[in-house]
Amino acid sequence: MNPLQELDLRLTRRSFLSRTTTGIGSLALASLLRPQAFSQSASDAQAGKWRGVVNPTHWAPRAKRVIYLCMAGGPSHLETLDYKPALAELHGKPMPESFTKGQQIAQLQGQKLNCLGPQHTFSLHGQSGQQISDALPHIGKIADDICIVRSLHTEQINHDPAHTFLNTGTAIPGRPSMGSWLLYGLGSECEELPGFIVLVSSGGGQDQPIAARQWHSGFLPSRFQGVQFQSKGDPVLYVSRPPGVRMQDQKDVIDRVKSLNSQLNATVDDPEIGTRISQYEMAFRMQSSVPDLMDISKEPEHVLERYGTKGGDGSFAANCLLARRLAERGVRFIQLYHRGWDHHGGVKRGVEVTAGHVDRASAALITDLKERGMLEDTLVIWGGEFGRTPMAQGDGRDHHIKGFSMWMAGGGIRPGTSHGATDELGYNAVDNVVSVHDLHATLLHQLGIDHKRLTFRFQGRDFRLTDVSGEVVKPILI
Amino acid sequence: MNFFPCSLVLMGAIALATPLLAVDGTDAQQKTGPIQFNRDIRPIFSDNCYACHGPDHNKRKAGLRLDRKDEAFKELESGGFAIVPGNPSQSQLYRLVTTSDEDDRMPPIKTGKHLSQSQKLTLRTWIQQGASWEEHWSYNPLKRPNQPAVKHSSWPSNPIDEFILSRLEAENLTPAGDASKVTLLRRLSFDLTGLPPSPEDAADFLSDPSDRAYERLVDRILSLPQYGERMAAHWLDLVRYADTDGFHADNYRSVYPYRDYVIAAFNQNMPFDRFTIEQIAGDLIPDGTQQQKIASTYNRLNRTTEEGGSQPKEYLAKYAADRVRTTSSVWLGATMGCAECHDHKFDPFTTKDFYSLAAFFADIKEVGVGKPAGTPLPTPAQEAELDRLGTAITAIEQELTGHTNHLAAAQKEWETGTLGALDQGHFDWVTIKPVQYSSEGNSTLVLREDLSIAVEGTPEDAPTHTILLATDRTAITGIRIETTPGSETGDAPFRLTGVEVEAMSGKSIAWERLKLVGATASSQKDKAAVAASIDGKSNTGWSPTDNLENGRHLAAFGFEKPVSGGAGTQFRVRLKQESKDPNQGRLQNFRLSLATVPHPDFNDHGLPVDIQKALRLPTDQRSEKEQQQLVRFHIDFDARTVELGNQLAAARGAKAEFEKSLPTTLATVSVEPRTMRVLNRGNWMDESGQEVLPAVPEFLAGKGPRNPTERQSRLDLASWLVSDANPTAARSFVNRLWKICFGYGLSRVLDDLGSQGEWPTHPELLDWLAFEFKSSGWNVKHVLKQIVLSHTYRQSSIASAALRERDPYNRLYARQSRFRLEAEMIRDSALAVSGLLATELGGRSVKPYQPEGYWQHLNFPKRTYQADKGDNLYRRGLYTFLCRTFPHPSLVAFDAPSREECTANRVISNNPLQALVLLNDPTYVEAARSLAQRTLQDSTGTFRDQLDRMFRFALTRSPTDREVQELADLHAEQLARYGQEPEAAARLIAVGEHPVLKNAEPAQLAAWTSVARVVLNLHEFITRY
């Protein structure tokens, strides 16, 4: 990226400006604008490094990276993490109108609203005694490592806007997703791979489309956008050399590009050229680091066994294993989507089948990270874009935004705890309610960022991931 | 008050330090001349005060409002005045921003906002100087500013230069030297056509020594059709044009005629006011043309959803808000989005303004959820064809009506005749003797005397019997299967899973598969209806019950169209029994017969039983239903009716088919407007808000004409946008033209000229351009021409170190800017220099190469990207199919927007994915090979000669000695490598569909391809200097 723009980024940040204009800053500001300062920032840029605008962090971070396991489609909290015996008693009977009157309803609009009792049994797990559905036996086994939040709510009731809201803090497209904010704020520790990587799998329900918008950098420069790893073809788009071109040939071409660019720079003196050269070097490194990442032949058999994958099949399990390998390499934000949770009908069987794709590998990831000592600085989040209605839609459930659940682990989150609750029928989040912006604030907090101070000026306004709200959920932190 | 001396010292230090600072907006500008409210004070207020003392009345504190003059100077609720001109210490505002009491200090600590000492000093100076007030600059009426005086009077080429130079002189700076002719040519080509110049273009321009050579070049380039394409690309970003609907399933919708309209509008240099009116209200223009209707597609370019479970009301609210955001960004230079939920914090837009603006669009015919229907767009010739097809249908319909009337009149006569024929057995099923018969199972078929076929052998296999019948009969309407239970049948009866009939009429030489309809049977089991034997499925079929009809089971099937028949006609019948269940019964014997009566049913007399019954009743004893049945049957029975019916179906089909082939667009259709009300906090379910009528923002409306008696229309809105009442349309448009030519706007926040935007670097110049734009009749080419003819534009972009230090962001234009080309231009350049570019204008969007599986996560329905063939692979990036949720990754890498929202300013980034695209995307590999081919084809001689040719194609210049040396080395290495591995060479040069040069030596071509790959990857290749 252009050093001028890098400066622009810094200079447009309100907190930076206010810091600099009060203290030693005036000098720092002046020096930043001098060309001597360019050489410094240009050499940084030449090394391909973006060190982030929150540098140093606002406080000591508890987590260095995030693995977000996004259960796309909206898993039923009532069959996974939030047991409601009272709902079982009302099974088949009308949903009390006091819950539903004037509420936003998706496909059940205008239909008779009857209760559907929990379709799966729940058990108490671990020393913490957390209550988890029997459809998720492996997650049950890591109950003491996770914190279940049962009081989330969101604002968007359809998949596409709800994902956009969950990722960017608003349903209007064009805003950066949380991974992009993190890269902008902190940079990445990995110089051979992008700092924000997305993996998508499916199985178990009708696959909801996931737009590339979900990992877009919005108004932030595109170097902060997520890069989707494909399960078919090149894992990273265009990473493979053209046919008939060996690594050495590619290197020879890149070396000439570099040399000719340097010669041009002697004439036109363009700081962008330095950046361009470093980006070619990064691209070249990616051409070997990506195949190396994808090559799991050296993973021991028991690890593959634990995740339940042989790898390379684009399954959620394979992606979980890749997530760990990405985390090891210092990737900042790793987001997995599993598109199989939209159970409008047959929620009992549906949850069972989708859980079959997800449960074992989710738990394996936590255990694996823990064994490697990485769980303490990796924040793992597991959950969907919304929950599902306590009311029946045939033998399934409709979209529901007033109350749903997620679990989190690692990265300074208090393990073996539950936080918040929905009402007795699982309709409204009522105790210790957590909004999507609260979740964002908490995530940023764990990475050492004050969510109110990570801003970017666009269209004349300082935007942030949490828009104008968001409170850190303190009780779930260690 | 002891802060005062202390802060004075501090302020002094900062004031002294100021000249050392580089030019960075307001700070640097403060040192010239007196304080100007808009430039110096308003940004401080806007950033720090307006959230509580601005337009949003719900958030206003202490009743103080600092965005309006009358409010800012009135007596405070608490007594005293915020601002006392000439007297800072009496001014509450100044007192509170400087107080040491943290509880009282403004802005409050909890807001996180903080005034710097220099900002406080600025406020103080402003009040001291008399606190002069200006309305926000962008909302002031347009006037032609006076030309400033300049010392270096020979430098300016036109008035633009005087504005630039006078500021440079005030800053003690001198303009850069002129750019070289080559740089200028490339710059102009990229800026105005998005393409590099060809070697021929270069030769023409470089060899023209006249003073007017450059102006001639400008005129020529402005007249190229590629100019319209380039300008359209920019406009399409603003109006968020795309080929898919954007939400969820993100399906295709046809709006490309709008894109072509925009290209044509720029190429015809359509006045911008007309361009505006046609887009917003083209459908409302009396006697509007088809082009104007196409233009109105602007109103339908928002994202729409088809997702099940979405509430139409919610989505209609989303669409309405989307239109307000876009329209206000494009024509008001304002970001009104926030006024959806609350009054704008910084500019005087209220939520009422937001919904009143939305109300202009409330008449648009649309659905909240579902696929929008397109408007067909026939050409005049196609229109004539449609008329002709329509007339043909009407003619047949008329004849049919006449004929059936005639038939109805002759009903009684027909009934008598039919009854007679029935009684004489004319309609009876006629058993046909099989001429061939075979079974695919282990059974053997034996023909009996009564023409039935007996099945002998193993009943437990799953036999399919094939029977060939021969007949001379004509107009055959159906076939019947007649079977008796055989002695060996087990507990379960047979199950006929498939009946297939083919016919070869007398004169025909090919089998025609007949469509079977109207299956009837003497009996059928509950889950084995006779219709299941012709449903195409192998696991369903017909089984009779135990009830026999005269000792038989019967099933009849009509033919959708009668078989003409005649001498030598044959039928081939396949009877399938695909159940593998060993307990399943099998056909034991069967007989086939044919009928000639319409809609035959299974009974022996062919004519449907209820028709027979009705016929035999005297007319006055029939029920109404029976009478109607008879009339309808008569009509259906009549050969001429059948023929006419077939003709009608064919004519209607032809018209439908033709309509399907016509291009469509989502033109705006106006209907009764929906009620629009203010949605409290943007909540679509809250219906308590005030109802609003269409109205332009109130604070701007006062300056324009209004007609309060009649509901205003989109036509009123569009006319108002380009009226004198709205100065922001012209300002924001010329600001964006400046951006095209310099990389930045004169006001740098392109979509917000409001108080949170930036004070223009050259406000008078911006107004001069805007005024020139309007007074020239909204002449886009005229303004562009003025800009590119200016000396400012023609400067070199090379900046001295000293200048870069003084003005890193080129706010003063003592040089030209340099920037990376936009995504589409990079693609277009590669195609152009390699000779691949297809220059066709407009048409359906195209699909160039795209990595496999990139669309795999799209659903409802799932789709596979199918790249185009031939020329469509080489069209400009402007025409690449734009799927909003998965835009083409090669363009996205270079910051192409997804066109979900209005984009006024594309980010320009420099990232590793760009390197991967240029190195590995087959588009660029193919382009490199084609460039190599072109080079080898067009030149002979030394390596240097050939490389010279390649450089002239790609970079409009000759290579330097060092470049020749390095690339000669690369060429030699690669030639050696590919010489040894011809297979690798063959694979490299096979990338892409473009044919490989005949007679090319593969190793040579591959080596030159490597050289060309270097050239296409050069920074210079993707940068405009």
Residue A51, in any domain of the structure: no
Measured in angstroms, the CA of B671 and the nearest CA of chain A are apart by 27
Contacts of B205 (CB under 8 A, 6+ apart): B181, B185, B197, B213, B217
Selecting from A8, A30, A232 the residue whose C-beta is nearest the C-beta of B856 gives A232
B269 touches chain A (CB under 8 A): no
CB contact under 8 A, B112 and A398: no
Q: Is A1 close to B14, i.e. CB distance below 8 A?
A: no
Best-predicted range by mean pLDDT among A98-102, A186-190, A355-359, B334-338? A355-359
Contact criterion met (CB < 8 Å) for A238 and B886: no
A107 touches chain B (CB under 8 A): yes
Q: Which CATH number characterizes residue A119's domain?
A: 3.40.720.10
**Vertex B90, ends B84 and B94: CA angle to 5°?**
85
- Asked if A469 is an interface residue toward chain B (Cβ–Cβ < 8 A), one would say no
Mean pLDDT across the stretch A355-377?
A: 96
Q: Is A33 in the same domain as A100?
A: no
By residue range, what is the domain housing residue A85? 65-231+312-476
Residues 6+ apart with CB under 8 A from A321: A296, A299, A303, A304, A307, A309, A311, A361, A365
Assess contact for A478 and A413: CB atoms under 8 A.
yes
**Residues A216 and A354 both lie in one domain:** yes
Instruction: Report the distance separating Cα B581 and Cα B539, nearest Å.
Output: 11
Domain with CATH 2.60.120 in chain B: 428-606
Does position A3 have pLDDT exceeding 80, yes or no?
A: no
Please give the Cα distance from B346 to B349 (Å, whole number): 8
* Averaged pLDDT, groups of 10, chain B, 1025 residues long: 36 34 41 75 86 83 85 86 90 89 87 86 90 86 93 96 96 94 97 97 95 96 98 97 92 96 98 98 96 97 90 92 95 86 81 94 95 90 94 95 87 89 91 91 86 80 88 92 68 85 88 92 90 90 88 92 90 90 82 91 91 90 90 83 90 93 94 93 86 90 61 95 94 97 91 82 95 97 98 94 84 95 97 97 96 86 91 97 93 90 84 93 98 87 94 97 97 97 96 92 96 97 96
Examine the pLDDT at A387 and tell me if it is beyond 80.
yes
pLDDT digits (tens, 9 = 90+) for A67-125: 999 999 999 999 999 999 999 999 999 999 888 887 777 778 777 889 999 999 999 99
Note the pLDDT of residue A313.
Answer: 82
Whether the CA torsion B101, B104, B105, B111 is positive or negative: it is positive
Query: Are residue A72 and residue A40 in the same domain, yes or no?
Result: no
Examine residue A280 and state whether it is found in any structural domain, yes or no: no
Look at A11-15, A277-281, B111-115 and tell me which has the smallest mean pLDDT. A11-15
Window 5-64 of A, Cβ < 8 Å to B: 5, 7-8, 11, 14-15, 18, 21-22, 26, 29-30, 33-35, 48
Chain A residues with CB-CB distance to B755 below 8 A = 460
Chain B positions in Cβ-Cβ contact with residue A106 (cut-off 8 Å) = 309-311
Judge: B1017–A280 Cβ closer than 8 Å, yes or no. yes
Give start and end residues of each alpha helix (H) in B819-880: 823-833
Residues A39 and A74 in one domain: no
Pairing between β-strand A404-409 and β-strand A378-383 as defined by DSSP bridges: antiparallel
> B-contacting residues of A 208-227, CB under 8 Å?
208-213, 216, 219-223, 227
Say whether both A153 and A35 belong to one domain: no
Q: Is pLDDT of A2 > 60?
A: no
A284 vs B contacts (CB less than 8 Å): 915
Average pLDDT over residues A345-368: 95
* B398-402: long-range contacts, CB 8 A cutoff, minimum separation 24: B399/B644, B400/B641, B400/B644, B400/B645, B400/B648
Task: Judge whether A185 lies within some domain.
Answer: yes
Looking at residue B9, its pLDDT comes to 35
State the DSSP H helix or E strand holding residue B560, giving kind and residue range, or none if neither: strand B553-565
Q: What is residue A266's predicted lDDT score, i.e. its pLDDT?
A: 85
CB contact residues (below 8 A), chain B span 150-209, against chain A:
none
Within this chain, do residues A26 and A128 fall inside the same structural domain, yes or no?
A: no
Output the pLDDT for position A18.
Answer: 32
Contact criterion met (CB below 8 Å) for B529 and B538: no
A252 with B749: Cβ contact below 8 A: no
Contact at CB, B910 and A275, closer than 8 angstroms = yes
Distance CA B905, CA B822 (A): 11
CB within 8 Å: A238 and B920 = yes
Under an 8 A CB cutoff, do A104 and B974 touch? no
pLDDT, mean over chain B: 89
| Cβ-Cβ contacts under 8 Å for B821 (sequence gap 6 or more) | B190, B829, B1022, B1023, B1024
Among A44, A192, A249, most B C-beta atoms within 10 A, so best to mutate, is: A249
Residue A165 resides in a domain: yes
| Complex ipTM over 0.90 | no
Q: Does A244 fall in a domain?
A: no
Predicted confidence at residue B707, as pLDDT, reads 58
Q: CA B27 to CA A11: how far, in whole Å?
A: 13
Q: Is the pLDDT of residue A142 over 90?
A: yes
- Residues A73, A21 share a domain: no
Selecting from A259, A275, A283 the residue whose C-beta is nearest the C-beta of B919 gives: A283
**Count of pairs with CB atoms under 8 A, one residue in A, one in B:** 272
pLDDT at A322: 94
Q: What dotted CATH number matches B428-606?
A: 2.60.120
Predicted local confidence at residue B550, as pLDDT: 85
Kindly give, in sequence order, each residue whose CB lies less than 8 Å from that of residue B37, ignoring residues fewer than 6 positions away. Answer: B126, B132, B133, B134
Interface of A with B in 336-365 (CB under 8 A): 339, 344
pLDDT value at position B32?
A: 52
So what's the pLDDT on residue A279? Answer: 85
Chain A: residue whose CA lies nearest to B19: A30
Number of domains in chain A: 2
In this structure, are A200 and A111 located in the same domain?
yes
